[in-house]
Copies of this chain bind each other. A is one copy, B any other.
Amino acid sequence: MKQSPLLENMIEALRCLPGVGRKSAQRMAYYLLERDRTGGQKLANSLAQAMVDIQHCQQCKNFTENELCVVCANPRRDHSTVCIVESPADVIAIESSGVFSGVFFVLMGHLSPLDGIGPEELGLEILEKRLVSGDVQEIIMATGSTVEGEATAHFIRDMVEPYQIPVTRIAQGVPMGGELEYLDANTLARSITERRKLDF
């Protein structure tokens, strides 16, 4: 059915959001029009601004509207320890853990030759420049525990090796509060082979 062209445009445009199909888009459009026009206008404004102004931090590639992101621009952070993660969401997760005071390097993905994502797409030459500078004293690999995440970690370890900078990998094992009963066999196997002595 032909309805208002503006409404039709809006519904089509909402479908660019991940996980939003025709029905959801329709529901969102009606909801905004009926109940939250202020929210809709705020969304339009912040989207318009973000799409243009948010770029990548020149040092760690995380999203920022400035030259450097808030972490890289902070002189109190330990700039000699670099944690390598796959996505900005991982940065937020690690920040919320509260135990890391270093800086990040955000790959914005992982190596995936079949999808045409190689070292250049991950911006590894930016990382290498930081290694060359001599300021980096430890690299913490915090890519995902997936096949691609592991492959990416190994690739970067090989890249860092010539600089004789220690590379560590975040520990893998049983999550806190996790019950063994529901854990997958691979994780359990890993947590047993990598068991460590209890210190008293």
Residues of A within 8 A of B (CB): 1-7, 9-10, 12-14, 16-19, 24, 26-34, 36-37, 39-54, 62-66, 69-70, 87-89, 91-92, 95-96, 108
Known A51-B32, A51-B37: A13·B64 in contact at CB below 8 Å: no
Which of A29, A34, A50, A95 neighbours the largest number of chain B CB atoms within 10 Å of its CB? A50
| Given A10-B50, A32-B17, A3 and B45 contact (CB-CB distance below 8 Å) | no
- Cross-chain contact B34 with A3 (CB below 8 angstroms): no
Give Cα distance in the complex from A7 to B19, angstroms: 20
A30 to B44, CA, bound (A): 16
Given A18-B28, A30-B89, A40-B50, 5 new contacts (CB under 8 A)? A17-B32, A17-B43, A18-B27, A30-B87, A34-B108
- Chain B proximity of A35: nearest CB distance (Å): 9
Determine how close the nearest CB of chain B comes to the CB of A120; give it in whole angstroms: 16
A63 touches B16 (CB 8 A): no
CB neighbours (8 Å) of A19 from chain B are 24, 27
Question: Which residues on the B side are within 8 Å of A50 (C-beta)?
Answer: 6-7, 9-10, 29, 32-33, 40
Quick one: which of B4, B34, B45, B51 contacts A65, CB cutoff 8 A?
Answer: B4
Given contacts A26-B89, A69-B4, contact A51 B47 (CB under 8 A): no
Chain B residues with CB under 8 Å of A34's CB are 108
